[in-house]
């Protein structure tokens, strides 16, 4: 039972979870790939217990799936499912913007500015491996700024399900720069407490990501 879980094991679970998410986002783990618990445990210097716990959490988030006596695998979702998730994220992100604009704090705005600056550095270095997790953190902070508990609960699940797809759109030439310019515009709208503009820009930001993803599909089929 979870209540009897070893505290030391529990403390490693978030670290393992973030590493698996990073590996999926970076393309090191692709759809259908089996999670090698032994290799990952050796890499992170932990026992297999935290690996299994993290995998169970990621399964609940929809990022992994399990097979009896075979372990955990990176989930595969169809293009239609991905597009549906983009549309749902766009609506929720727009809502987050409208809610956050009237209540966001100076501390939160400063945190968003700092992430934009870090993403600028990643863009200069053409380092998508550095840009991608910063981008995810930026989005999460925006949603948390809405102070809507249900929205904060739902959004990370949608984020997780798209890890296999979102990075593809950022690989397109100039995409990271365009994305970060959109981030700046969003923060400017939040700073002026413009609920309408903030909501519209945040919704458009997700839909722009969807459009970039569709472009990668067109290139693949060309």
Q: Does the pLDDT value for residue 17 go beyond 50?
A: yes
Overall number of domains in the chain:
2
pLDDT at 149: 97
- Percent pLDDT > 70 in the chain is 87
> Is 47 found in the same domain as 125?
no
Q: Do 37 and 87 belong to one domain? A: no
Residues 87 and 60 grouped into a single domain: no
pTM above 0.85, yes or no: no
What is the residue-averaged pLDDT of the chain?
86
Please check the confidence at residue 25 and state whether its pLDDT lies above 80: no
Residue 222 scores a pLDDT above 70: no
Nearest Cα residue to 177 out of 123, 122, 130: 123
- What CATH number has the domain bearing residue 102? 1.20.120.530
Asked whether the predicted pLDDT for residue 166 surpasses 80, the reply is no
Q: What is the pLDDT of residue 221?
A: 46
Per-residue pLDDT at 1 exceeds 50: no
Q: How many CA atoms lie within 13 A of 205 on its CB side?
A: 29
Asked if 37 and 100 sit in the same domain, the reply is no
Do 68 and 162 lie in a common domain? no
| 74, 91, 126 - which closes a domain | 74
Domain containing residue 56: 2-74
31 or 55: which leads in pLDDT: 55
User: Do residues 69 and 89 share a domain?
Assistant: no
- Both 201 and 100 in a single domain? yes
Place 46 in a pLDDT band, splitting at 50, 70 and 90.
very high
Confidence at residue 72, expressed as pLDDT on a 0 to 100 scale:
94
N- to C-terminal Cα separation, the chain: 51
Question: Is the pLDDT higher at 159 or at 211?
Answer: 211
| Cβ(152)–Cβ(144) below 8 Å | yes
CATH, residue 9 = 1.10.10.10
- In this structure, are 146 and 170 located in the same domain? yes
Q: Write down which residue in 23, 52, 74 finishes a domain.
A: 74
In this model, does residue 103 exceed pLDDT 90?
yes
Of 40, 74, 108, which residue sits at a domain end? 74
Find the radius of gyration of the CA atoms of the chain. Answer: 18
110 falls in which pLDDT band (50, 70, 90)? very high
pLDDT in tens, 34-44: 999 999 999 99
- Could you report the per-residue pLDDT of 120-160, keeping only the tens digit for each? 999 999 888 788 889 989 999 999 999 999 999 988 878 77
- Whether 187 and 113 share a structural domain: yes
Are residues 113 and 199 located together in one domain of the fold?
Answer: yes
Q: Are residues 88 and 177 in the same domain?
A: yes
Out of 15-24, 25-34, 47-56, the most confident range is 47-56
Query: Which of 30-44, 110-124, 161-175 is modeled with the greatest confidence?
Result: 110-124
Same domain, 51 and 102: no
């Amino acid at each position: 039972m979870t209540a009897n879980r070893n505290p030391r094991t529990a403390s490693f679970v978030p670290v393992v979870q973030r590493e698996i998410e990073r590996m999926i986002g970076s393309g090191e783990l692709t759809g259908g790939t089996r999670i090698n618990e032994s290799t990952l445990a050796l890499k992170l210097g932990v026992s297999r217990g935290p690996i299994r716990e993290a995998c169970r959490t990621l399964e609940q988030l929809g990022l992994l799936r399990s097979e009896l006596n075979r372990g955990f695998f990176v989930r595969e979702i169809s293009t239609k499912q991905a597009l549906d998730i983009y549309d749902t994220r766009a609506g929720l992100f727009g809502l987050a913007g409208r809610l956050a604009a009237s209540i966001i704090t100076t501390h939160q705005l400063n945190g968003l500015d700092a992430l934009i600056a870090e993403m600028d550095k990643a863009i200069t270095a053409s380092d998508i491996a550095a840009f991608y997790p910063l981008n995810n953190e930026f989005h999460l902070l925006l949603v948390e700024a809405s102070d809507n508990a249900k929205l904060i609960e739902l959004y990370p699940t949608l984020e997780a399900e798209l890890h296999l797809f979102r990075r593809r759109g950022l690989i397109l030439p100039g995409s990271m720069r365009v994305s970060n310019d959109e981030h700046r515009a969003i923060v400017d709208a939040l700073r002026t407490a413009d609920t309408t503009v903030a909501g519209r820009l945040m919704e458009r930001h997700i839909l722009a990501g969807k459009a970039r993803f569709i472009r990668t599909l067109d290139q693949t089929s060309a």
